[in-house]
Chains A and B, each alone.
Chain A
């Protein structure tokens, strides 16, 4: 069972194709991070999944239902948090929760109390007087309290201070359960999702560039450093799966995208006979940068932050 499945999903705003033929599969039980720079199409994708925006092509199924036919029964199982969601400004936090409660059969009043305390939210304060972090926590509380099967978070961390981020992640993990609990989170903030995600999707210019298990990504990416005995006389014929290739003096550095201890070493030994080879695992951030730059040599990037 897949929690989310799209085939050829398209979204066009006049001339601009915000999402292009997106085939996305989010397995049930996974924590799936959709990464990409600002303007890549992450929020547009999520809005289509939540039936807030009509696709101009293709289909999306959420919890097994066509996204354009999502109704109250499905939304009672989905928790959606985005900064753009409007809150009733005139209500207090407590009034807002009283208002939400009757909509959900599964609303857990004990969990609501625990989270109110954990999030340090003042129930009698009006929503219009809340800080940005408190607003996000209020919103998160209002969806976690009914223990949704699918949690959809659109850029949940942007503009939040470290303490609020930590509260936020703790809150999400508070309702976590093994098995069918699925989280779909979009972010351009890689460090925050690296610990949580087990699947990573990379979206750029409305296209999905990569969708892979984090484990397997971490297995197949390595920074390779080669120290040669003497500088190569002839230019090196490097394979296409070596990214960000650089040379300086006797030192050669690149990112191997198909790492396998034996084969990589053999290949390097063929190309650089008699040299020393080291392979370092890469943090997700570095993997992301290597992929974003692709085959070209590294240069200062403005893709992140």
Chain B
């Protein structure tokens, strides 16, 4: 079993989908710094994806500083992976894009959307307060 949740959908490049799932798992604490990350082989077998794609995902995660590789151990989640807020905010990209597209279709302005986001934020914060 893989230590992160993913549901691959046709359409978007698979590497992108896996990257997103891994980063999300790191940010939400599903995977913690120091945790072992699955090998290319296991990734490819569990997700039924091309080993080349799995390799690309791991290489990209290393490059972005999410993973560190040590020869004997394999890959582990880096300390302070995705620590800064900017990196986290970037994960919202696809969701934001979808919302903005819909907003444009509805003929809304940036200000309208910002106000709507703020209102929703308050509503959800109120609900989660004890």
**Binary interface encoding of chain B residues 38-69 relative to chain A, with 1 for a CB under 8 A from any of its CBs, else 0:** 00110011011111110100000000000000
A191 adjacent to B10 (CB under 8 Å): yes
B44 adjacent to A173 (CB under 8 Å): yes
**Binary interface encoding of chain A residues 167-198 relative to chain B, with 1 for a CB under 8 A from any of its CBs, else 0:** 00110011011100100000000010011111
Residues of chain B from 96 to 130 with CB closer than 8 A to chain A in the complex: 101, 104-105, 107
Contact residues in A for B50 (Cβ distance below 8 Å):
31, 195-198
B13 adjacent to A218 (CB under 8 Å): yes
A: contact size bracket: 20 to 34
Please tell me if A278 contacts chain B, counting CB pairs below 8 Å.
Answer: yes
A170 adjacent to B51 (CB under 8 Å): no
Task: Name which of A181, A191, A278, A282 has the most chain B CB atoms within 10 A of its CB.
Answer: A278
Least Cβ–Cβ distance between B106 and chain A, in angstroms: 9
Q: Chain B: which residue is nearest A170 at the CB level?
A: B45
Tell me which of A214, A218, A276, A284 contacts B105 (CB under 8 A).
A276
Q: Can you spell out 26 A-B residue pairs with CB atoms less than 8 angstroms apart?
A: A31-B50, A31-B52, A169-B48, A170-B48, A173-B51, A176-B41, A176-B44, A176-B51, A178-B40, A178-B52, A191-B10, A195-B8, A195-B14, A195-B47, A195-B50, A197-B50, A198-B50, A198-B52, A214-B13, A218-B11, A218-B12, A276-B104, A278-B101, A278-B104, A281-B11, A283-B9
Contact residues in B for A176 (Cβ distance below 8 Å):
41, 44, 51
How many Å lie between the Cα of A281 and that of B14 in the bound state?
Answer: 12
Contact residues in B for A284 (Cβ distance below 8 Å):
10
B105 adjacent to A281 (CB under 8 Å): no
**Binary interface encoding of chain B residues 1-33 relative to chain A, with 1 for a CB under 8 A from any of its CBs, else 0:** 000000011111110000000000000000000
Contact residues in B for A195 (Cβ distance below 8 Å):
8, 14, 47-50
Least Cβ–Cβ distance between B74 and chain A, in angstroms: 15
Contact residues in B for A30 (Cβ distance below 8 Å):
52
Tell me which of A197, A227, A285 contacts B10 (CB under 8 A).
A285
Contact residues in B for A194 (Cβ distance below 8 Å):
10
How many Å lie between the Cα of A169 and that of B48 in the bound state?
Answer: 7
Please tell me if A215 contacts chain B, counting CB pairs below 8 Å.
Answer: yes
How many residues does chain B have at the interface if contact means C-beta atoms less than 8 Å apart?
23
Q: Chain B: which residue is nearest A280 at the CB level?
A: B11
Residues of chain A from 254 to 305 with CB closer than 8 A to chain B in the complex: 276, 278, 280-286
Please tell me if A166 contacts chain B, counting CB pairs below 8 Å.
Answer: yes
Least Cβ–Cβ distance between B28 and chain A, in angstroms: 25
Least Cβ–Cβ distance between A41 and chain B, in angstroms: 25
Q: What 10 pairs between A and B have smallest CB-CB spacing?
A: A283-B10, A283-B11, A176-B51, A281-B11, A173-B45, A278-B101, A31-B50, A195-B49, A169-B48, A196-B50
Contact residues in A for B41 (Cβ distance below 8 Å):
176
How many Å lie between the Cα of A278 and that of B50 in the bound state?
Answer: 30
Contact residues in A for B104 (Cβ distance below 8 Å):
276, 278
Known pairs A177-B51, A178-B55, A195-B8 / 9 extra A-B pairs, C-beta < 8 Å = A30-B52, A173-B44, A178-B52, A195-B50, A196-B49, A198-B53, A218-B13, A276-B107, A281-B11
Contact residues in B for A191 (Cβ distance below 8 Å):
10
**Binary interface encoding of chain A residues 125-168 relative to chain B, with 1 for a CB under 8 A from any of its CBs, else 0:** 00000000000000000000000000000000000000000100
How many Å lie between the Cα of A214 and that of B16 in the bound state?
Answer: 13
Least Cβ–Cβ distance between B42 and chain A, in angstroms: 10
